[in-house]
Amino acid sequence: MGAVLEMNGAGKLTGLLVGLFVAVSGCSSTKDKAQADADAAPLFQMVKGFTGLFKKSVRPADPRKLITREAIDASPVKVLLAGIEVRNAYATLSPAGENAGVITWIAGDGIGLGFRQGVLVSTRGLGPDLMAASVSGTIRALHNGQGEVVRIHDYLDGENQIQRSSFRCGIQAIGTEVIEIYGLQVSTRHLIESCNNQEISFKNHYWLSSGNKIWQSRQWIGRDLEYAFMQQLSR
């Protein structure tokens, strides 16, 4: 059930592919295990059978049509919804571990996404992956509500050599919005990060609560994968 990922070239993280089993495995008695099984059942029904969601050739059930607030609230682990828009592929993910401030979330098929305070810094298992990203300036500007920053992305080329791209970005707030996440109303600030270099431009969207938690975002991965949509489902 385990998967090992290397994040940003520093150390390794080991995690379960489907995080709901973490709570079940820690039970100390048959009674406790039975209760944990019952608690985890709604989430299990939500995520089982979703393997291969991010693969180009697979078209399984869309989890967005099956997720319920009841299932999310009953989950013993936090749940993230993520999608690769150009593939029209969506999956639920659970946290697998943290390394140097980067939290890795894993889907049922082993696909991994790494985040630093909600900002995407890496992908694994998607093919043309984002190996690492420097986003400290982006995070500061998001918390401040505005700013001019530089972000750096690292990718692997066809010869497994790191190719680095840098972007100049401007971040601005465009207003407050109440977003609904499967029955949960969240008051947010909507900010846009507009980035470009000599070859390409993109815009990332973030919805942050008063505590600077990124509840929802649309973030650029790279030329091939383009944008990923993310939504924090757990309270």
Q: What pLDDT, on the 0 to 100 scale, is given for residue 157?
A: 87
Whether the CB-CB separation of 98 and 106 falls below 8 Å is answered with no
Average pLDDT (120-135) is 96
CB-CB contact of 131 with 117 (8 Å):
no
pTM: 0.79
Beta strand 80-84 with 89-99 is antiparallel
Q: How confident is the model at residue 62 (pLDDT cuts 50, 70, 90)?
A: confident
Mean pLDDT of the chain: 82
Measured CA to CA, the distance from residue 56 to residue 102 in angstroms comes to: 27
- DSSP conformational letter for 210: T
* Pick from 118, 150, 151, 26: nearest CA to 76: 26
Q: d(Cα 164, Cα 157) in Å, to the nearest integer?
A: 10
For residues 135 and 155, the answer to whether their CB atoms sit within 8 Å is no
pLDDT at 189 over 50: yes
Average pLDDT score over residue span 202-227: 97
Between 13 and 42, whose confidence is greater? 42
Q: What CATH number does the domain located at 2-232 have?
A: 2.40.360.10
CB contact set of 119 (below 8 Å; sequence gap of 6+)? 133, 135, 138, 139, 142, 206, 214, 217, 219
pLDDT of 54 strictly over 80: no
pLDDT, tens digit (0-9, with 9 covering 90-100), for 164-176: 999 999 999 999 9
Percent of the chain with pLDDT over 90: 70
Which residue did the predictor score with more confidence, 58 or 18? 58
Quick check: 143 pLDDT over 70?
A: yes
228 pLDDT more than 90: yes
Query: Domain extents for the chain?
Result: 2-232
Supply the pLDDT for residue 225: 96
**Residue 48 corresponds to which tokens in the numbers above?**
């089982």
pLDDT range class, residue 27, cuts 50, 70, 90: very low
Q: What is the pLDDT of residues 67-123, one digit of tens each?
A: 999 999 999 999 999 999 999 999 999 999 999 999 999 999 899 999 999 999 999
